[in-house]
Structure 1
Amino acid sequence: MRGKFPWATHLIILVCSKRAGERVLGSITRYLSSKLKLEINKEKSQVVKVNQSKFLGFTFNRGKIKWHAKTLQKFKQRVRQLTNRNWGVRMEYQLYKLKQYLQGWINYFGIANVYQQCVEQDQWIRRRVRMCFWRQWRKPRTKVQNLLKRGVPERMAISCGITSKGPWRSSKTKGIQQGLTNNYLATKGLYSLKEGWIAIHYPLKRS
């Protein structure tokens, strides 16, 4: 079928050497251009080592599928937007939108061999969510009262409530972690990348 197609396709070809890669790239480019009349994106068409390649957001290392660095960078940028402490919406809505994004993201990128990275990202995301809670409580009295409701000892709750630390630094303190535990955040709807990854790779263990 001749003519320009209104869609783009991605193709990765594995060869044994850089010289072979350059030869194959040249012949494939000529074939697609002359025979199929397709326009080739020369910026994205390149010969690189497998672990330096990017294919649909993934890269490959020692036979395993990994997230490309740019994929993770874009992911974290979006999470920062969704956990902006100055967003001005209720935490229920913020967590709902965050769950939507995380669940959709891991359903696509969860095929990668990245269990430990999921654990690490979960830790980072929980800290950002704690920061949002802390910011929304605003007044020291409200902060202390909310921590006391969640079982934090009075002395520790007061110390956290009157601290001069900003929301991000405060989110790592023992009192706030004790008041906003992982289990508590999960009950409020915080989605876990780790659990999503396990559901993809070990579905029978969850049934």
Structure 2
Amino acid sequence: MQQAQKLKTITRKTTPMSFEERIQKLAEVQRGWVNNFRMASMLVKLQDVDGWIRNRLRYCIWHHWKKLERKRKNLIRLGVEQGQAYAWSRSRMGGWAIAQSPILGTTITLDRLKKRGYESMLDIYKKISPQLNEPLYTRPVRTVV
């Protein structure tokens, strides 16, 4: 199975698993993918994929809340004022549009996802990439006599 397809399957809103289990499986696939391509220069690509994965996770969270009242209460718990929380919880926009909206982008932030165990592919890549971790000059310098 292709790596992107694995990421899609794990982050699908209808895949029956807890958020912690989803994060754990996602981490396994991400580590494997980054280890496989660690020699390549792929910072920009990983930023794009990370943004997409974060939106998929926000969509899973939004879908998991299900009911309007639960959405409203959770938005209030995340720091949204009551009127806005009421309006967004009853929005007729689809879940994917809500996941990309400013309301979930500012409440379910990267820091909050990290607290739940999410590690971005870019962070993993920065830890293990040889281009980023090796000193600039690795060959021993030889004096010419």
Q: Which TM-score applies when normalising by structure 2? A: 0.84
Deviation at 1:99, TM superposition (A): 1.1
Q: Does structure 1 residue 153 correspond to structure 2 residue 81?
A: yes
Deviation at 1:74, TM superposition (A): 2.7
Superimposed CA distance per residue, residues 63-87 of structure 1 (whole angstroms, 9 cap, x where no aligned partner): xxxxxxxxxx933221110011011
Residue 198 of structure 1 corresponds to: 126
Residue 22 of structure 2 corresponds to: 94
Q: Which runs of 5+ in 2 are unaligned?
A: 135-145
Read off the aligned partner of 2:85 and give its amino acid letter: A
Q: Does structure 1 residue 178 correspond to structure 2 residue 114?
A: no
Read off the aligned partner of 2:74 and give its amino acid letter: N
Q: Does structure 1 residue 79 correspond to structure 2 residue 1?
A: no
Partners of 1:162 and 1:119 lie apart in 2 by 31
Deviation at 1:110, TM superposition (A): 2.2
Of 132-141 and 194-203, more deviation after overlay is shown by 194-203
Of 195-204 and 153-162, more deviation after overlay is shown by 195-204
Superimposed CA distance per residue, residues 50-101 of structure 1 (whole angstroms, 9 cap, x where no aligned partner): xxxxxxxxxxxxxxxxxxxxxxx93322111001101122111111111111
Q: How does 1:127-138 map to 2 (within 5 A)?
A: 127-138=55-66
Partners of 1:91 and 1:103 lie apart in 2 by 18
Conserved in 2, the CA contact under 8 Å of 1:152 and 1:178?
no
Q: Which has the larger radius of gyration?
A: 1
Q: Please, which of 112, 115, 137 is the counterpart of residue 43 of structure 2?
A: 115
Conserved in 2, the CA contact under 8 Å of 1:140 and 1:162?
yes
Conserved in 1, the CA contact under 8 Å of 2:3 and 2:29?
no
Conserved in 1, the CA contact under 8 Å of 2:59 and 2:99?
yes
Superimposed CA distance per residue, residues 131-151 of structure 1 (whole angstroms, 9 cap, x where no aligned partner): 000000100111111111111
Consecutive aligned runs of 4 or more in structure 1 exceeding 6 Å deviation: none
Conserved in 2, the CA contact under 8 Å of 1:103 and 1:191?
no
Point out which structure has higher relative CO (alpha carbons under 8 A, 6+ apart): 2
Q: Which runs of 5+ in 1 are unaligned?
A: 1-72
Partners of 1:99 and 1:153 lie apart in 2 by 33
Conserved in 2, the CA contact under 8 Å of 1:92 and 1:188?
yes
Q: Which TM-score applies when normalising by structure 1? A: 0.60
* Matched-pair identity in %: 25
Partners of 1:92 and 1:167 lie apart in 2 by 21
Superimposed CA distance per residue, residues 130-186 of structure 1 (whole angstroms, 9 cap, x where no aligned partner): 000000010011111111111122222222211112211110111111120111111
The number of aligned residues is: 133
Partners of 1:156 and 1:173 lie apart in 2 by 13
